[in-house]
Structure 1
Amino acid sequence: MTKNIALENTTINELKESDKKYFLHPTTSIKQHQANGPSFIFKEGKGIYLTDINGDQYIDAMSSLWNVNIGHGREEIAEAAKEQMSTLAYSSCFQGFSHEPVIRLSEKLASITPGDLNVSFFTSGGSESNDTAFKLIRHYWKLKGEAKRTKIIGVKRGYHGITVGATSATGIDQFQNMATAKAPDFVHATTRFKTNCELGDKSDPDYAGSIRGTIEKEGTETVAAIIVEPVMGAGGLFIPPAGYLQALRKLCDEYGILMIADEVICGFGRTGKMFGVDNWDVVPDVMTVAKGITSAYIQLGAVIITERLRNELAEISPNDVFFHGFTYSGHTTACAIALKNIEIIEREDLVGNAKRMEAELMKGFKYLENNHSIVTKSRAIGLLAGFELLKDREKGVPFDQAIMAAPKVVGECHKRKLIVRPVVFEGSNSIVFAPPLITNKEQVETIINKLSDAISAFERQGHL
């Protein structure tokens, strides 16, 4: 039983008022926050559970932000951090300086990434990783005498972060509209997962919007790279069909374009493989990671490139300093935590558990579809999953946007102490999940039962 960690009412009210007064929340309605204060104030995490300041325990079926892969409250991680901080908390990696944790982590990543993705540059998170990838690749093409190759092609509904470059690569209008202006030379393909188009089928009416069609429209000599998530996460949880990523790899090879796999969500076991691309045996030229590399116990990201790319950069710029680096690139304590995190993932076979729990989630989703006529299009890959809500699934009729079906169901989930996430971009009503990789069968069943109760409560509201 979780210990009672509720605070006095006066303290709780003080925290809520201070939150409203002093804290500008990320990805939150400022107006609603000022009116209502914080949605939750959490105090403790253990396993797949979070406990708030009232002492109420919630199932964290999102791993917070798709990132607490090994679950909350792992004392091994705290001990690893304490040990490293007690000896060397931080040391710069500029000008060739190094330390043992960053060397060991780089070596470990090389041993678990596919192909010859053996060289790591470290950042503090996913947005920094993707911005670094764009900058590094454009630098590469300039050094090779192909300075016109500056364009980065992403995909509609793809999500790659919120720095200027990462936002520009993101194919979600709400994030684009937040920026005053999109950075130049970012383009979005509008056709998703048409393998035949990527293989060159120009008879398909959607060909022009495919990645291949977009490359040809922009001019192959201007395209530096494409960036794709192996499984699209924040945009709505979309899993590519068999052969699609292989077709993109072949397309990039055909035109001499570099392929970036954004593994920020998918990496480190989330999809039932160590990396998302491993599900399709694809080796990109560049892989960006963050989130699961430390299971969010500390900030860390990385850009992992092939040895071939690193060797070319060394050859064509032998006397040039690589003028790119963050203060916290290769942060000593962060690297030590990442090493311990990966050790836990491997030792406890959390990648295998994610794959086994995929089957349990799909059983649960089938139960939801059989008992709730509004649930449809269930999908899961490892412990990355979701389904959609339709007013009439037989006819494909969506809910009116004003009803906000997915947010209302998620609100009912919160009442039942379950944290999941709604996705409502472009009028969709999806609910997505990414529980910690330690989640077991009984916990999956509890999640499904709470979901069913929440959906029933929404159905009783009379929106059908």
Structure 2
Amino acid sequence: MNENVVKKANNADHLKKADQQYYFHPTTPLKLQQQSGPGLIIKEGQGINVTDVQEDVYIDGVSSLWNVNIGYGRQEMAEAAKQQILNLSYSSSFFNNSNDKVIQLSEKLAELTPGDLNVSFFTSGGSESNETAFKMVRHYWKLKGNPERTKIIALDLSYHGVTMGATSATGVREFDSMITSSAPGFLHAKPYLTDCEKGDTSHLDYETSIRGIVEKEGPETIAAVILEPVQGVGGINIPPEGYLKAVRELCDEHGIFMITDEVICGFGRTGKMFGVDNWEIVPDVMTVAKGITSGYMQLGAVLLKTDLRDELAEMSEDVFFHGFTYSGHPTACAVALKNLEIIEKEDLVGNAKRMGAELHKGLKYLEEKHKVTAKARTIGLLGAIELFADRENENGFDPSLHAAQQVVEECLNRNLLLRPLAFGGINAVALAPPLIVNKKDIETIIERLSEAIKAFENKAF
């Protein structure tokens, strides 16, 4: 056996054992990790591909965690981080201090965001951003003389993170069920009841709509509504036309803040700079992370309207007692600035829209070719296809079969990384490749996914 092959095998074996012994994985079946070790150990990334320690190359069809928008291995990103580290690696923004990069990034975000979402508060990621948004709006109502306005309405099948408040807002019950106590004041509405949100009280689901909950609880107790423009983890659920507008009008009617969670949708993923741009809606508060740096550095932000910041400033002379050690981290901000420069310079938002159309055609082709596939949906480079035992009657597979997981494993065997979604009774395969993909890349992804679905069909029937 070649000496290099032996070294690689020994290194991989050592890493696997060390992983089992020393690394506690996030969002992973712990028993599986202890019994079998990590599924993949990635060591390199370039473009849309990643390479494991066995030198196997995979197409990353989900941008890792929906976040590597500009692809892997960008030299200019490394240079931006290096130069900033040499200039000023870290600087605190506490106690009214600042740094040049956080100011420049704040100004850039104000240029990109819709409406007058011109003010940025920085965090280290999506969970922190949503947690901050909840604290901000509750703090506002307290200063306003309405301390009873604390309740946050989120949607079923929503995902907003894993900190205490973010978990409590999350509508995927599996995340909530692991904790022994939820944060108070979080309510969940059934999504996409457009007629109800417009005021149709005769609808059978009216009481579980956002409007129904507002009326039941009393608008004077509601601080905010939070929703994803497109639900990600919950199934790549795209709202019907008119829904976001109806929610915006409902919030305006009752003076409720509208928060949109753009952690997945933001920075080009949906074929627009932000998800809400698809429906020309401007929220009061927007949370972002992931694509703001394309995963090259940890960073998130809360973007709020100028008048909200001005009111908070006017009403309070005390310290705003909230912040993170890495709020406004200059290196992270420098990386974000370079990332946004690349997105604009290479028209990756436009490419997401164009290649999203190719992805949609590909998924529709899979619907025609395979008997278990249906409900293909895309918006930009964010898409999914569902699996059914009987698609004519929309009868799903027995949950114990883990259909989506099986298809994703078959994709893995074909060097394609995708993600199973099996919440809320669905079995879906999610796709969200880097925004740099071309038509040939999409064709390869669809071809390998088709082979994987065929292999699953052969086992299932």
TM-score exceeds 0.5: yes
Shift in Å, 1:428: 1.3
Residue by residue over 1:116-156, the C-alpha shift from the partner in whole angstroms, topping out at 9 and shown as x without a partner, is 00000000000000000000110000000000000000000
Report the counterpart of residue 221 of structure 1 in structure 2. Answer: 220
Superposition deviation, residue 232 in structure 1:
0.2
- Read off the aligned partner of 1:312 and give its amino acid letter: E
Letter of the 1:375 counterpart: T
Aligned partner of 1:427 in structure 2 is 425
Does the CA contact (< 8 Å) of 1:7 and 1:53 recur in 2?
no
Q: Shift of the alpha carbon at 1:215?
A: 1.2
User: What is the identity, as a one-letter code, of the residue corresponding to 2:32?
Assistant: Q
Q: Distance in 2 between matches of 1:227 and 1:427?
A: 23
Give SS of 1:153's match: strand
Q: Report the equivalent of 2:200.
A: 201
Residues 188-230 of structure 1: CA distance to partner in whole angstroms, max 9, x if unpaired?
01x2212111000011111111111111111111000000000
Contact preservation (8 Å) 2:363, 2:376: yes
Please say which of residues 107-116 and 361-370 is displaced more in the overlay: 361-370
CA distance in structure 2 between the partners assigned to 1:144 and 1:97 by the alignment = 27
What are the equivalent positions in structure 2 for 1:259-408 lying under 5 Å apart? 259-317=258-316, 319-408=317-406
Q: Which residue of 2 aligns with 1:135?
A: 135
Counterpart residue number, 2:453 = 455
- Paired AA for residue 194 in structure 2: T
Runs of 4+ in 1 over 4 A off after TM superposition: 4-7
Instruction: Give structure 1 stretches of 5+ with no counterpart.
Output: none
Amino acid at match of 1:260: I
Question: Which one-letter code corresponds to 2:116 in the other structure?
Answer: D
Structure 1: how far apart are the matches of 2:392 and 2:336?
Answer: 47
Distance in 1 (CA, whole Å) between partners of 2:283 and 2:229 is 10
Matching residue's letter, 2:291: G
SS of the residue aligned with 1:8?
helix
Q: In 2, Cα distance between the equivalents of 1:387 and 1:26?
A: 26
3-state DSSP class of the match of 2:357?
helix
Residue aligning to 1:243: 242
Give the deviation of 1:6 after TM superposition: 9.4
Q: State the match for 1:411 in structure 2.
A: 409
Q: SS state of the match for residue 443, structure 2? A: helix
**Pairwise CA distance, 1:52:** 0.5
Which residue is equivalent to 2:123?
123
- 1:332 is displaced (CA, Å) by 0.6
Report the counterpart of residue 39 of structure 2 in structure 1: 39
Distance of 1:203 and 1:139 partners within structure 2? 36
Contact 1:5 1:53 in 2 (8 A): no
SS at match of 1:425: coil
Give the conservation status (yes or no) of the 8 Å contact 1:137–1:224. Answer: yes
For residues 7 and 71 of structure 1, the distance between their equivalents in structure 2, rounded to whole angstroms, comes to 29
Corresponding letter in the other structure for 1:398: G
1:440 to 429, 438, 459: 438
Would the alpha carbon gap of residues 367 and 224 (structure 1) be closer, same or farther in structure 2, given more than 3 Å must change? Answer: same
Q: Distance in 2 between matches of 1:361 and 1:68?
A: 18
Could you give the per-residue CA deviations for residues 374-406 of structure 1, whole angstroms, max 9, x where no partner exists? 100000000000010001111111111111110
Q: Identity of paired residues, percent?
A: 63
Does the 8 Å contact 2:157/2:424 carry over to 1? no
Offset, 1:7: 5.1
Would the aligned equivalents of 1:360 and 1:444 in 2 still touch at CA under 8 Å?
Answer: yes
Q: Is the 8 A contact 2:234 2:424 kept in 1?
A: no
Report SS of the residue matched to 2:424.
Answer: helix
Q: Distance in 2 between matches of 1:366 and 1:140?
A: 47
TM-score, normalised on structure 2? 0.98
Residue aligning to 2:253: 254
Partner of 1:77 in structure 2?
77
Q: What does residue range 3-82 of structure 1 map to in structure 2 within 5 Å?
A: 8-82=8-82
